[in-house]
Amino acid sequence: MIKIHNVKLRTAVATFACFGMIALASSAIAAGNVTEEMILNDANTVEDVVSYGMGPLIQRYSPLKQINTETVKKLAPAWTLSYGAEKQRGQEAQPMVNDGKIFVTASYSRVFAADARTGDELWEYNHRLPEGILPCCDVINRGNALYENLVIFGTLDARLVALDRDTGDVVWDVATDDYKAGVSITMAPFITKGGLVMVSNAGSEFGAVGWVKAYDAKTGKNVWERPVIEGHMGTLNGKPNGITGTTNATWPGDLWKTGGGCPWNQGSYDPELDMVYFTTGNPAPWNAYKRPGDNLYTTSILGIDANTGMIKWHYQTVPNDAWDFDAISELLLFDFEMDGKVIKAGAQAHKNGFFYILDRTNGKLLSAEPFVKEINWASGVDMKTGRPIETGNRPGDPAESADGKQGKTVWAVPSFLGGKNWNPMAYNPENGLFYIPATEWGMDIWNNPISYKKGAAYLGAGFTIKPVFDDYMGAMRAFDPKTSKIVWEVKNPSPLWSGALVTAGNLVFYGTPEGYLKALDATTGAELWQYNTGSGVIGSPITWQMDGEQWVAVPSGWGGAVPLWGGEVAKAVKHLNQGGSLWAFKLVK
């Protein structure tokens, strides 16, 4: 029997959770419970997918090879789960699989549980969203965390919710911040040692201050908080735990109080170092003349102690960001051989067009080279200082214009939607290649006067996004980090907005806005298989083994930032249909 939940009496639910259901959750012992060991070892097991990124290093690699370059031509749909006809929009999630069940989040802060063999819906949770939510970039959600008997996810009204995996009932539900100030949660929470669930916020476009928070996954109790803008106090177990950075060191006056920097995309985790890595968003407002200075720790990569929330190191990719070049693309963790040594490294294919490699133990920059073909805002990255070598191509100051209303317009490449955006790349530890869903586009951008008002857009800029090349915008690229060269690429007419998956079967899976899930030869880039799901694929594919068969699953549903913010690009893809469904595939016999 399908159970459908709609939270109407939040106070009553929360009270009931505090007195009853938390105790049940903490004492429950069932075959399907997801343990800490299972999560930390997710990359090495094939019977389930219990972490976002298919392992804490978020490499999105699977050792499965039943589906391979020879057999993939027999891959066919096994079932489809519909999310319903009324709530379409963008479906950017990665599904989870455990104990014969599949769990997936959907637009409008929903969660679905289904039988992984048949696609039959087991339950559906509909979070009751208040009036006045302020999502920046569509009503999307990128995924959930599994822990013991819980399914944990964030909502568009900035709540963190834990559901019973068997019933969909609310076990605990906590407010992380004030949604009326523009804060929301769209990233997938993840679990670290000791049962801590990590979560971070979105909201830079409204002047919300970015943060990372850790909660006890069993109870929802806050353990630590770390604001990522200098001047704000962190906490540990409810007590002050040090100011982030040094107040006013890189933010003049009170601008740090509305400084943005929200780490709205996925974090990663090194269990050996016990460090989490978060990438931060743009400073607020976009108009950089309103906030002189480097504006730490916006547009940065942070290494954070997983137990205390203390920032161990930072690397800022774009000081005083003037183009909305969030550093929010994920930091994928891998072992990098350099000068005869193997370094515990992290890699990021940045919005700004450069592929960064850092030593993840200390944040030292190891490499920064282009992965897109056109970049005009900087000529490179200074390896001594780590700072970009800017070309002077910043939008003009409105105060210097004749009417004081609009600064000089410049053509900047990439656009603010990035050479790569939130959509995760994959890494193959067997051949050392990264598989990057890249996009080539630029923007006309200009600045306008702006002042902060709670709950209002805080940009101070205008823009129009345009393609760089006539024949394509998106390209799946195999990138060699040792040579910083593109090994091969497969072009796509529209921007790529899905995640990637690579397998030991020598296949790369990814989706296109035109609706296709595709499989490429990981060595050559040759297209071996495709299937049209009926709506744009902008979610992240997964693979697992069940009953001796390898499966592949991916959400389908066009939306996200491109049709909302894309300017001329949005017009080019306006014919694409929205949707809401989960597709599962396996080999036909």
CB 343 within 8 A of CB 336: yes
The share of the chain scoring above pLDDT 90, in percent, equals 89
Q: Which of 264, 43, 46 is nearest to 142 (CA)?
A: 264
Averaged pLDDT score across all residues of the chain = 94
The answer to whether residue 5 scores a pLDDT higher than 80 is no
Which amino acid appears at position 527 of this protein?
Answer: E
Average pLDDT estimate for 83-101: 92
CB 5 within 8 A of CB 12: no
First to last CA, the chain: 31
Whole-model pTM? 0.94
pLDDT digits (tens, 9 = 90+) for 147-183: 999 999 999 999 999 999 999 999 999 999 999 999 9
Beta-bridge mates of residue 466:
442
Give 135 or 231, the one with higher predicted confidence: 231
CATH code for position 542:
2.140.10.10
If one counts the domains in the chain, the total is: 1
pLDDT digits (tens, 9 = 90+) for 432-466: 999 999 999 999 999 999 999 999 999 999 999 99
Query: Residue 4's pLDDT is what?
Result: 53
Q: Give residue 8's pLDDT band: very low, low, confident or very high (50, 70, 90).
A: very low
pLDDT digits (tens, 9 = 90+) for 296-335: 999 999 999 999 999 999 999 999 999 999 999 999 999 9
H or E element in which residue 15 lies: helix 10-16
CB 556 within 8 A of CB 539: yes
**Does residue 495 have a cis bond before it (omega within 30 degrees)?**
no
Residues with a known catalytic role? 324
Average pLDDT estimate for 423-429: 98
pLDDT digits (tens, 9 = 90+) for 101-125: 999 999 999 999 999 999 999 999 9
- Cα gap 107→557, rounded to integer Å: 9
Query: Residue 563's pLDDT is what?
Result: 87
Minimum mean pLDDT range among 11-20, 58-67, 368-377, 537-546: 11-20
Query: Residue 438's pLDDT is what?
Result: 98
The answer to whether residue 573 scores a pLDDT higher than 90 is no
Q: Locate the DSSP E strands across 24-148.
A: 61-62, 75-82, 96-98, 101-106, 110-115, 121-126, 145-147
Give 44 or 569, the one with higher predicted confidence: 44
Minimum mean pLDDT range among 8-22, 113-127, 218-232, 498-512: 8-22
Sign of CA dihedral 565, 567, 568, 571: positive
- Cα gap 99→91, rounded to integer Å: 24
Structure tokens at 533: 């799901």
Q: Give residue 23's pLDDT band: very low, low, confident or very high (50, 70, 90).
A: very low
Query: Residue 568's pLDDT is what?
Result: 82
3-state SS assignment for residue 504: coil
Average pLDDT estimate for 206-233: 98
Q: What angle do CA 246, 251, 252 make, to 5 degrees?
A: 115
CB 244 within 8 A of CB 250: no
Which amino acid appears at position 366 of this protein?
Answer: L
Give the domain extent around 370: 3-587
